Amino acid sequence: MNEPARRAPGDSSADPRNRPVSARRRAAARWLLWVFVVAVLLTNAYYLRFLEPWVSRKRLAVALTAAAGLGLLALAGALPRGRAAWRALLRRTAVPALLCVITAAGFGLRLWGITSGLPQSYVADEYDFVHGVLKMMKGGDLNPHAWYHPSLQPYLALGTYTTVFLAQVPSGRWSHVSEITEEDMLYWGRFTGVMAGTGAILLAFFLGRRLFGNRVGLLAAALLAVFPAAVQHSQYNKPDPLVAFMAALAVLVILGYFFEGGRARAFAAGVAIGLTVAAKYNGALVLVPFLLAATLRQKRWLLVRPDLYLGLLGVLAGFFAGCPFFLSQFHLFLDHVADDLYAYGFGGRLGAEGVDNWWNNGLYTARYGAGRAAFLAGLAGLGLALYRLDGALAIFLSFPVLYYSYYSAQRINFRGNLTPVYTFLAVLAAFAVVEGIGWLRRHLPERRRPWVGAVAAGTIVLLIVPPLRTAIRFNIEETRRDTGSYARDWIVAALPPGTHLAQERYTPVLDRSRYPITQEAKLVSRSLRSYRDQGVEYLIVSSLLYDRYGPDHELTRSYQKLFAICPLVAEFKPVPGQRPGPTIRVLRVPPAVPETR
């Protein structure tokens, strides 16, 4: 007779506790979990209502549903079993997990500050951006009819506004699109910038990994996540964060074409370039990396093979996708683009003059934009990249070097224009640090190599902590209660309902059902007598307008005349570290008003 096989010593398979759960028990558990999930969905977690108001039943239902999902994954065998399997999983997911943490931190820093000033807006041109998009949304005409900026960013904002509108209609927030105001969408316009700025963090990782490996990619993403200027300018309802995202994406796609080739990649690179230009016209400089990549790859066959022409066709396709109406008003398009080129290159603009911008931009980046350590590391990375220059590095460097040079030569100095450079600066800084640490590890004596880890940790702390503190301090300052909020509270308390007020941009948002409001871009654009004839009793002005230019400017003199005639009733000044915002003045319209503007 055959004897049963003997089990080896230490074999624990005979232990009932180590036997797998039977198929029947697994099926029962899986059925119960599915019943629970479906019951939550069908009843809207009604059975958890006894926990309210202490615990939100909806949030608890989401948490319980997520736990049930994990249980279903475990029963399906999708989760690792045993320590070895978990360790292998952690090794495989270490880089994605770190990238998720970095991206979440960068998103949080950017999202934190977008409530600054709300419902007021103290950011130049922001109100106009929101108004233009709502005009499309309410009127149905998707032609922006203004081309000082291209239309990709307004269209993305339009998609965001539409999603928010449809999502909040069921809750009773709105019933018709005509009910939406500019103040309702200031937050969501800024949210579009937050998403673009967060996407740039991911692109910093992919650019760094593509050229130098995972370590450089992760450190580059971490640096860009905390750069104060990148955080700040991602919080504005402007195209700067979007063009930074698109420029980095275009360079990444161009590098893909350079390494792998192919007509489809050449066309895709062109589309990315066209969309970059459709985000902001200065993105046109990203065409240079593509021309360089096509030349290096095709060499003497550049004009014979179709890659160059497919890329240029892609540029047109991408720009048309982002600006589909520019040909219908081509004369206006040319006039508005020419106005920008003239102002930046020759005429300048009052209040934003720039001289020796290459030096000023560098100082700004070192002192605030990225921090001194990251700025110096970026310069070191640039030097090292030039020393090891090859085709890929030449393509990578061509955009930030030419872009910085171009804006440094202009006669206007807007700090937001530097935003596209920070992604590349982060990659270069990370490259210098990783290479420097690698050099130490290779050249230090064996007995001193354990110190390399401490040096690496200290260097990373030095690079990340100071800009992180600056970004946090900026968010704290910007989200304090501002002068407009204090002015609004005073107006509500001091002025009875029905008081006719006239106000300009950058002043408190008031309840129009309580006060008749006359709104002007600048109050001095009309005569004081016209306000009096209209029945206006008080004027509300902002230092962002009356103190914008020097004392000899015509606008400043007009405000000084206004202040000389209208008595000051109340003034709300900013207090550093306590109360941000412009100075808000409330003026009384006198009974006898001389003719003045």
Mean pLDDT, residues 196-211: 97
Query: Could you give the CA distance from residue 124 to residue 426 in angstroms, rounded to a whole number?
Result: 28
Instruction: Indicate if the pLDDT at residue 5 is higher than 90.
Output: no
pLDDT given for residue 390 in this prediction:
95
CA dist list (Å): 353 to 55, 348, 357, 410: 55, 6, 10, 9
Cβ atoms 120, 509 nearer than 8 A: yes
pLDDT higher at 396 or 90: 396
Tell me which residue of 369, 375, 467 sits closest to 425, measured CA to CA: 375
In 176-232, beta strands by DSSP E: none
Query: Could you give the CA distance from residue 123 to residue 24 in angstroms, rounded to a whole number?
Result: 64
pLDDT given for residue 89 in this prediction:
67
pLDDT given for residue 1 in this prediction:
44
Q: Check residue 43 and report its DSSP letter.
A: H
Query: Could you give the CA distance from residue 510 to residue 55 in angstroms, rounded to a whole number?
Result: 35
Local confidence band at 366 (pLDDT 50, 70, 90 cut-offs) = very high
Local confidence band at 244 (pLDDT 50, 70, 90 cut-offs) = very high
pLDDT given for residue 534 in this prediction:
92
Q: Check residue 80 and report its DSSP letter.
A: -
Instruction: Indicate if the pLDDT at residue 92 is higher than 90.
Output: no
pLDDT given for residue 123 in this prediction:
87
Query: Could you give the CA distance from residue 548 to residue 558 in angstroms, rounded to a whole number?
Result: 12
Q: How high is the mean pLDDT of the chain?
A: 89
pLDDT tens, 38-87?
887 788 777 777 777 777 777 888 888 888 888 877 777 766 777 777 67
Instruction: Indicate if the pLDDT at residue 8 is higher than 70.
Output: no
Q: What is the CATH code for 483-588?
A: 3.40.190
Instruction: Indicate if the pLDDT at residue 214 is higher than 60.
Output: yes
pLDDT given for residue 4 in this prediction:
47
pLDDT tens, 231-241?
999 999 999 99
Cβ atoms 195, 139 nearer than 8 A: no
CA 329 to mean position of chain CA atoms: 30
pLDDT given for residue 54 in this prediction:
79
Mean pLDDT, residues 517-535: 92
User: Within 10 A of 177 (CB to CB), how many other CB atoms are there?
Assistant: 16
pLDDT higher at 399 or 46: 399
Local confidence band at 16 (pLDDT 50, 70, 90 cut-offs) = very low
pLDDT tens, 106-136?
999 999 999 998 888 898 888 889 999 999 9
pLDDT tens, 297-350?
999 999 999 999 999 999 999 999 999 999 999 999 999 999 988 888 877 776
Query: Could you give the CA distance from residue 223 to residue 467 in angstroms, rounded to a whole number?
Result: 8
Query: Could you give the CA distance from residue 328 to residue 403 in angstroms, rounded to a whole number?
Result: 30
Domain residue spans of the chain: 21-80, 189-240+329-477, 483-588
Tokens for 143?
Answer: 């032609």
CA 86 to mean position of chain CA atoms: 36
Tell me which residue of 439, 430, 370 sits closest to 404, measured CA to CA: 370
Query: Could you give the CA distance from residue 419 to residue 217 in angstroms, rounded to a whole number?
Result: 19
What SS3 state is found at 140?
Answer: coil
Residue type, 144: P
Instruction: Indicate if the pLDDT at residue 99 is higher than 50.
Output: yes
Cβ atoms 386, 428 nearer than 8 A: no
CA dist list (Å): 415 to 158, 252, 363, 370: 26, 24, 12, 13
Show Cβ contacts of residue 518 under 8 Å, excluding neighbours closer than 6 positions: 500, 501, 502, 503, 531, 534, 536
User: Within 10 A of 504 (CB to CB), how many other CB atoms are there?
Assistant: 20
* φ and ψ at residue 542, rounded to 5 degrees: -125, 145
